[in-house]
Each structure stands twice: as structure tokens, then as C-alpha cells.
């Protein structure tokens, strides 16, 4: 094995690996979007020359690369992955190297990650917000930050049309269905949970429909486990608050050979449409949210801009 070289840089690793400097940075910073074959190629050179992440950080700053931190709630989130996938090309095209980190819905972890990014002299941050995250934790980043999924005053935020999406689904169903069930998230979650559930109950009240809602966790298993409860009232259609819940519900219906219930998912994923082609979806615009977030952050960093809230329009897909 070659001896460690204190002068080795990201540029050297890139040349030896046959990839770009930004790709090396993405591998070292554990970007989940990097192909496995590329990751293995770069890491083989890193290990051969005993090149460490701490050296990469110093080299990265020394060569003038610009850094953007992206704090997701969880790496396996379909919606957040869609958004991140559309951010990355924008950041790469403008010479920024993203560092993707997972908060696991922990305000403390967000604070730790932001401290780390501050120490690395990151240029800006995109944060996927969640219930329990207070905007006071973001004060240092106020003029170089974009928040996704929750509206914080004094910050530029990209929000989803939670209420409008549910109303679009209900308006479509109401033409033929009067017994519409709902499987959602507990109301402790202020957006995906409370806002979407409240939109459902408000519509039922306005149109004199009997509410039939069950609430649980944000997971496939929750959709599967809650299916039986919502079916007790014999709905002819069911709205699922997320595509994950829709996957679980559809699995239950398929196993029980129930094929006469219309399922609408708030949120569209390739997996859902591939496995259950009859499912109607409301596209919340995760892809657009990623593009909006990246462009807004670049504008903030390059010329400054006043805080704003951008609501991504939703679209029903039949």
C-alpha cells in the first residue's frame, strides 16, 4: 500500500479515479445519489493512498470549492429524495458541492449538523423542516438558508399545498362517491398530519359526508395495519395522506382480493404507480420543490433576497 501523502488533494484523487472533483467530494461526503460503481472506484483510490475525509475538507476549502449543506429528515424518504435529486444538478452547475446529512426528525441533530457546517464554512443550507424544529435554531443561517415543508417567518420557505391537494382529491371523488375514507398521519405532525386531516374533515362537514378517518404513523406498515379499521364503514373510495400509506393500503386490498375501492394517494411515487397502476395520485411537486429551493438559495447567496414563502402547486394525476 502507498504511504499517506500529506500533499494529496481532491484534484489528485479525481485524476487517479477518472472522475470529477465534485464527484470525489460527493463520495467522501456520503452523497446517496452517487452510483455504487463510482463510489467503489473512488474509495479504492482513497484507501490506496490513505486519503482521509478530514484532509478532503481542508483540500476542498483550499481549492475554493463552494459547499451547500442539505439536511434531510431521513435518507429513505421518497419525497425528499425527489427534491434532492432535482437540487443537485443546479448546485453542481454553479460550482457547489452538496453535503447531505440526515436529521432523523431530531432538533438536536439539526443543531449538531448546522454547527458542523458552520465549522466547515459552508456557504448555505437547505433544511427539510419537521414538527418540533424551531426556527430559532437556524438564526445563524437566516441570510443563507432555504427551508422546505414548513413556513417560517423571516426565512425563504418552499411549502407543499397540503390543503389544496386533499381538496383536489375529494372534489374529484365527490362526483361519484359519498362514502370516502381517509388514512392519515397523527395530528402531532402539523403538515402531513394535521393540515391534511383537517382538510378532509372540513370537506366532509361542508358537504355533509360522514367522516371515516384513521390516523397512524408515516409508514407502509401503518397503511397496511389501518386498512381494516377504515374498511369497517364500507367506503367506496379511500384517500391516503402519503404514497407510503397508499402502498400499505393497496397491499392489504390486494391480499384480500378487494378491487372495488378507488384509492387516491396524496403524493406520487414511481414505485406506487408501478405496483398499483389503478391508484390515482395527487402530485405535490417534490421535483419542483427541489428546483425552487436550489434556485432560491443561489439567488440569496449571489445577490440577496427578501424572505418569501413559495407554495408548490399540486396536480391530480388520473
SS3 78: helix
Report the b/e string of 282-293 with b at 16+ CB within 10 A: bbbbbbbbbbbb
Mean pLDDT of 217-222: 93
Condensed to tens digits (0 to 9), the pLDDT of residues 57-77 reads 444 444 446 899 999 999 888
pLDDT above 60: residue 4: no
Confidence of residue 244 (pLDDT cuts 50, 70, 90): very high
Confidence of residue 5 (pLDDT cuts 50, 70, 90): low
CB neighbours of residue 180 within 10 Å: 26
Q: Map out the domains of the chain with their CATH numbers.
A: 1-64 (1.10.260.40), 65-160+285-313 (3.40.50.2300), 162-283 (3.40.50.2300)
Confidence of residue 30 (pLDDT cuts 50, 70, 90): low
Instruction: Give dist(CA 210, CA 208) in Å, integer.
Output: 7
Give the CA radius of gyration of the chain. Answer: 22
SS3 158: strand
Amino acid at each position: 500500500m502507498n504511504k499517506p501523502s500529506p500533499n494529496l488533494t481532491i484534484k489528485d484523487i479525481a485524476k487517479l479515479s477518472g472522475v470529477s472533483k465534485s464527484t470525489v467530494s460527493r463520495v467522501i461526503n456520503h452523497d446517496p445519489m452517487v452510483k455504487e460503481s463510482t463510489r467503489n472506484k473512488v474509495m479504492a483510490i482513497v484507501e490506496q493512498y490513505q486519503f482521509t475525509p478530514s484532509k478532503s475538507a481542508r483540500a476542498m476549502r483550499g481549492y475554493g470549492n463552494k459547499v451547500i449543506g442539505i439536511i434531510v429528515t431521513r435518507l429513505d424518504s421518497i419525497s425528499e429524495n425527489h427534491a434532492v435529486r432535482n437540487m443537485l444538478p443546479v448546485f453542481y452547475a454553479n460550482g457547489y458541492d452538496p453535503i447531505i446529512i440526515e436529521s432523523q426528525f431530531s432538533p438536536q441533530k439539526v443543531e449538531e449538523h448546522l454547527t458542523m457546517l458552520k465549522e466547515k464554512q459552508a456557504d448555505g443550507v437547505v433544511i427539510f423542516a419537521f414538527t418540533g424544529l424551531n426556527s430559532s435554531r437556524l438564526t445563524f443561517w437566516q441570510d443563507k438558508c432555504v427551508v422546505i415543508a414548513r413556513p417560517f417567518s423571516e426565512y425563504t420557505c418552499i411549502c407543499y399545498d397540503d390543503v389544496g391537494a386533499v381538496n383536489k382529491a375529494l372534489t374529484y371523488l365527490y362526483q361519484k362517491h359519498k362514502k370516502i375514507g381517509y388514512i392519515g398521519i397523527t395530528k402531532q405532525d402539523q403538515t402531513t398530519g394535521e393540515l391534511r386531516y383537517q382538510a378532509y374533515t372540513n370537506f366532509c362537514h361542508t358537504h355533509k359526508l360522514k367522516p371515516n378517518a384513521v390516523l397512524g404513523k408515516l409508514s407502509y406498515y401503518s397503511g397496511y395495519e389501518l386498512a381494516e379499521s377504515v374498511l369497517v364503514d364500507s367506503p367506496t373510495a379511500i384517500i391516503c395522506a402519503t404514497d407510503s400509506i397508499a402502498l400499505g393500503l393497496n397491499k392489504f386490498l390486494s391480499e384480500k382480493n378487494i378491487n372495488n375501492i378507488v384509492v387516491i394517494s396524496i403524493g406520487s411515487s414511481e414505485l406506487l404507480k408501478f405496483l398499483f397502476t389503478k391508484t390515482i395520485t395527487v402530485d405535490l411537486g417534490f421535483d419542483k420543490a427541489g428546483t425552487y429551493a436550489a434556485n432560491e438559495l443561489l439567488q440569496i447567496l449571489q445577490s440577496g433576497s427578501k424572505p418569501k414563502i413559495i407554495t408548490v402547486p399540486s396536480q391530480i394525476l388520473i
